[in-house]
Copies of this chain bind each other. A is one copy, B any other.
Amino acid sequence: MMNIGLVGYGYWGPNIARNIIYNSGFKLACICDHDQNRLELAHKHYPFIPKLSNIDDLISNPEIDCIVIATNPTSHYTIALNALKNHKHVLVEKPLSTSLSEINSLEQIANEQDLTLMVDHTFLYNGVVQEMKSLIDNHEIGNIKYIDTTRINLGIFQNDVNVLWDLATHDLSIVNYLLQKMPKSIIATGKCHIKAGIQNIAYLNLMYDDDTIVHVHSSWMSPVKIRLMLIGGDKKMMVYNDIEPTEKLKVYDTGLSFDSNDKDQILVDYRVGDVNIPKYSTKEPLASMIQDFEKSIVQKTKPISGIESAKQIVKILSAAQTSLDMNGKEILI
């Protein structure tokens, strides 16, 4: 059983704590937060687990094998760097860093010391995403022509990252996982209605070497919460509606049927065949993610949500930021 230290007990920290405790491979050895209120909450939840307000005491502790970082984004890099230098396996909340060179140096250190460095792209462990990946891998969907994804709500405006780093990062991790290819260029538009420099609404247009097109809509200013992903293959199409309580995934047996009698129109049937709502795992994704972290350390396997995924997302979002700053200019990736 490995000793884990959790840094950061804010919004996401309690969920991580709970899932570490449920995992038999880890012992939650310490909870660390610089905010006294959060430490008191942690104490209320887990009075028996040691608390620390000074992160250095945690990182320098030789009995700690792994560090999970759930602090605010700007501090991720420094803490991860320190933890790796102190020979800890590291799991970081997304985003690991907004700088590719920082990620590269972290990766290098992790590799040199044979440590696991993993980023929490939780959605990759979601049962629906796993089911979609499996349908694609089994050639049931065909060649994917487009992915259109919307992740909007009235939400928490953050001061240090814009809506892309907060929301689009989820979509991009899923898109990259399903497509297994990187876009060649990106066009991003958006607006800062609340605070200068922090986009609260943004649209990403991803272009690829072939005729695939991916579009991402992110917003903190929608009165309704929408989590909708449309995936169009040339054999079937999928709709992933994460707001639905139970039937989140629908697979449409669509296809293009050309009506050659009509010279003016190409007729496409609205429903060629049945719609299927496949069964998918409803296991909590965070539990699977913690498991994958354990497996990666113990069995030296590559985690699904590894450093490669983090690098891809940073590449895309950095290009997106450049495009935003240049009023929607196409930026090569």
Q: Cβ of A265 and Cβ of B223 under 8 Å apart?
A: no
Q: Given the complex, which residues of B lie within 8 Å of A298, measured CB to CB?
A: none
Give A93 to B247 CA distance when docked, in angstroms.
31
Task: Give which listed residue, B246, B268, B273, B275, contacts A155 with CB less than 8 A.
Answer: B268
Stretch at the interface among A105-113, A114-122, A207-215: A207-215
Of chain B, the residue at the smallest CB distance from A156 is B265
Number of A residues with CB within 8 Å of any CB on chain B: 74
Q: Given the complex, which residues of B lie within 8 Å of A267, measured CB to CB?
A: 156-157
Q: Cβ of B264 and Cβ of A72 under 8 Å apart?
A: yes
Q: Given the complex, which residues of B lie within 8 Å of A191, measured CB to CB?
A: 145-146, 211, 213
Stretch at the interface among A62-70, A77-85, A168-176, A322-330: A322-330
Q: Cβ of A276 and Cβ of B273 under 8 Å apart?
A: no
Stretch at the interface among A53-61, A237-245, A288-296, A300-308: A237-245
Q: Cβ of B154 and Cβ of A270 under 8 Å apart?
A: yes
Q: Confirm or deny: A269 has a beta carbon within 8 angstroms of a beta carbon on chain B.
A: yes
Q: Given the complex, which residues of B lie within 8 Å of A237, measured CB to CB?
A: 221-223
Q: Cβ of A44 and Cβ of B72 under 8 Å apart?
A: no
Contact with B along A199-223 (1 / 0, CB 8 A): 0010101010001010101011111
Asked if A217 meets B148 with Cβ closer than 8 Å, knowing A193-B211, A265-B156, the reply is yes
Q: Cβ of A268 and Cβ of B48 under 8 Å apart?
A: no
Asked if A205 meets B220 with Cβ closer than 8 Å, knowing A153-B270, A225-B245, the reply is no
Give A213 to B262 CA distance when docked, in angstroms.
39
Which A224-240 residues have a C-beta within 8 angstroms of B?
224-225, 230, 232, 237-239
Give A246 to B190 CA distance when docked, in angstroms.
27
Q: Confirm or deny: A189 has a beta carbon within 8 angstroms of a beta carbon on chain B.
A: yes
Give A254 to B153 CA distance when docked, in angstroms.
12
Q: Cβ of B195 and Cβ of A207 under 8 Å apart?
A: no
Of chain B, the residue at the smallest CB distance from A210 is B191
Q: Given the complex, which residues of B lie within 8 Å of A328, measured CB to CB?
A: 187, 205, 207, 328, 330
Q: Cβ of B48 and Cβ of A22 under 8 Å apart?
A: no
Q: Cβ of A273 and Cβ of B279 under 8 Å apart?
A: yes
Q: Given the complex, which residues of B lie within 8 Å of A192, measured CB to CB?
A: 211
Minimum C-beta distance from A160 to chain B (A):
7
Q: Given the complex, which residues of B lie within 8 Å of A238, measured CB to CB?
A: 223
Give A243 to B158 CA distance when docked, in angstroms.
30
Q: Given the complex, which residues of B lie within 8 Å of A273, measured CB to CB?
A: 279
Which A2-53 residues have a C-beta within 8 angstroms of B?
21-22, 44, 47-48
Q: Cβ of A215 and Cβ of B217 under 8 Å apart?
A: yes
Q: Interface on A for B, CB 8 Å cutoff?
A: 21-22, 44, 47-48, 72, 145-146, 148, 152-160, 187, 189-195, 201, 203, 205, 207, 211, 213, 215, 217, 219-225, 230, 232, 237-239, 243, 245-247, 250, 252, 254, 256, 263-271, 273-279, 327-330
Q: List 5 A-B contacts (CB under 8 A).
A: A155-B268, A194-B256, A194-B266, A222-B232, A223-B252
Closest 7 CB pairs of A and B: A275-B277, A223-B252, A157-B266, A223-B237, A189-B205, A187-B328, A191-B213
